[in-house]
Amino acid sequence: MVHLNAEVFSELVDGGVVAGAEEHLASCAACRDQLASLRDLKARLRALPELEAPAHLWSAIEARLTGRPARDRRFGWPALIGMQAAAMAAVFVIGLGIGSMFTGDEALEPSGVPVIGQVAEQPPASSLEDALAEVRRQGAEYDLALRRLERVASRAGTPMASLAVERLAALDVLVEASRSALATRPADAVLNSYLFAALEQREEVLRELARQAQQEAEVAWR
Q: What number of CA atoms fall less than 13 Å from residue 52's CA on the CB side?
A: 3
Chain CA centroid to CA 193, Å: 11
Question: Which distant-in-sequence residues (6+ apart) come within 8 Å of 38 by Cβ?
Answer: 9, 10, 13
Please give the Cα distance from 37 to 19 (Å, whole number): 21
Q: Judged by CB under 8 A, which of 3, 30, 58, 127 binds another protein?
A: 58
Q: How many residues bind another protein (CB under 8 A)?
A: 33
* Nearer CB in complex with another protein: 23/50: 50
Distance (Å) of CA 150 to CA 36, 46, 161, 167, 191: 63, 49, 12, 11, 28
Q: Does 48 bind another protein (CB under 8 A)?
A: yes
Q: Does 51 bind another protein (CB under 8 A)?
A: yes
Interface stretch with another protein, choices 64-72, 139-147, 172-180, 183-191 (CB under 8 A): 64-72
* Nearer CB in complex with another protein: 9/194: 9
Q: What is the DSSP string of 196-222?
A: HHHHHHHHHHHHHHHHHHHHT------
In angstroms, what is the minimal distance from the CB of 34 to another protein? 7
Q: Does 17 bind another protein (CB under 8 A)?
A: no
Chain CA centroid to CA 217, Å: 27
Interface stretch with another protein, choices 59-67, 82-90, 105-113, 124-132 (CB under 8 A): 59-67
Quick check: 174 and 133 in contact, CB under 8 A?
no
Q: Does 3 bind another protein (CB under 8 A)?
A: no
In angstroms, what is the minimal distance from the CB of 136 to another protein? 31
Please give the Cα distance from 74 to 77 (Å, whole number): 7
Q: Does 128 bind another protein (CB under 8 A)?
A: no
Chain length of the chain? 222
Q: Judged by CB under 8 A, which of 25, 34, 151, 176 binds another protein?
A: 34
CA atoms 98, 179, 56, 160: torsion sign: positive
Q: Does 68 bind another protein (CB under 8 A)?
A: no
Question: Which distant-in-sequence residues (6+ apart) come within 8 Å of 43 by Cβ?
Answer: none
Interface stretch with another protein, choices 6-14, 103-111, 130-138, 180-188 (CB under 8 A): 6-14
In angstroms, what is the minimal distance from the CB of 15 to another protein? 13
Q: State the residues that interact with another protein by CB under 8 A.
A: 6-7, 9-11, 13, 34, 37-38, 41-42, 44-54, 57-58, 60-62, 64-66, 74, 79, 211
